[in-house]
Amino acid sequence: MGFDAAALPTFPWDLLEPLKRQAAEHPGGLIDLSVGAPVDPTPDELREAVAAASDSPGYPPTVGTAELRHAIVHHYAAERGVTGLPADAVLPTIGSKEMVALLPSLLGLGAGDVVVHPVVAYPTYDVGARLAGARPVPADSPAQVPGDLAAKVRLVWLNSPANPDGRVLGVEALGEWVAWAGSVGAVVASDECYAALAWADPWASDGVPSLLDGRVGGGSLAGRLALYSLSKQSNAAGYRAAWVAGDPALIGRLAALRKHMGMMMPGPVQAAMAAALGDAGAVARQRQVYGRRRRILLEALDQAGYVVEGSGAGLYLWFTTPDRQDCWRTVADLASLGILVAPGAFYGQAGRAFVRMALTGSDQAVAEAAARLAGA
């Protein structure tokens, strides 16, 4: 895997530092709603599981303990409507971002290959393609993939619910991508880490469908991978607790490569993951917390004259001004109130009129942000 790090774009968050310093000069201090980093306590079940498993002198299994793999399979059946998933179809990963960044390389992609990702998208999909030497191409449907590139597509990234705009793909849309990818010989990978945070119907009532759902693609797992993380639903970003699941042949290939690279999840974290997946109550309580914060910020943005679009699921509000001014102006406007948000330009040219606000401030920070917006 040879790549030129200097050819990569500037790390987006470094570009935000001047405005972060400006926001910090507000008399009331900085309210940072730019990054979706959880601030609430990690549930006791996870912490107790780590402590109980802290005597861990041996190497943990790369493919995951039997307990963890069973917990992941049960999670899919109980929470995502995915039944019959075999134990060899799951693999723990050290957070989901490393798999997003490395998957094109692990699949052997390189020069001449194309990676498709959403038009408005988390930037690591693009970066991962570049690291492998492949070409990233934005598209929100198979029809948007340029005809001269279709035969070169080897990986399609989906993100549902999407970061930053909260878009959710239904069974039909997922199936369309699976059928198209199969016709060109591409793998479809779906980043689903916000699936527990659906706010608008039908997703809030019926759940967000997974790429691994039996209604998608005739039920076969071939050529399909789904990524998930406990960072958001279980306040466990510091644990780097995530996994990839799907096509057993692809999972076996990824596991073999990870064994060679020594990329194994620490044993105590595996124990914590299994405990977290058995505690649906903690997830439901955290969802209520985010729902309350979301309502407060939605009302405040509306009163301040901003226009929220999408945002029917996930951990963010995606909004613009009535005249759709450039995102950096909106970021500066909010920084003058001591509120830091992320510019939509981080997520592609199609996001340049928008900004992203995270729901991850504390209750006190969210209330203060709403007050500042109301008094602006």
pTM: 0.92
- DSSP bridge partners of 319: 308, 355
Domain ranges of the chain: 11-41+281-375, 44-278
Q: What is the mean pLDDT of each run of 10 residues along the chain (376 residues)?
A: 63 88 94 93 91 91 95 95 94 94 95 97 94 95 95 98 96 96 97 96 94 89 96 92 96 95 93 91 93 97 96 96 96 97 95 96 96 90
Give the span between the Cα atoms of 32 and 360, in whole angstroms: 9
Asked: is 11-41+281-375 a CATH 3.30.70.1350 domain? The reply is: no
Asked: is 44-278 a CATH 3.40.50.2300 domain? The reply is: no
Please tell me the predicted confidence (pLDDT) of residue 8: 72
Please tell me the predicted confidence (pLDDT) of residue 2: 54
- Which residue bears the tokens 């990839």? 244
Please tell me the predicted confidence (pLDDT) of residue 375: 83
Please tell me the predicted confidence (pLDDT) of residue 160: 97
Please tell me the predicted confidence (pLDDT) of residue 279: 85
Which residue in 39, 358, 100, 356 sits closest to 228, CA to CA?
100
- DSSP bridge partners of 158: 190
Please tell me the predicted confidence (pLDDT) of residue 7: 63
Residue 54: half-sphere exposure toward Cβ, Cα within 13 Å: 6
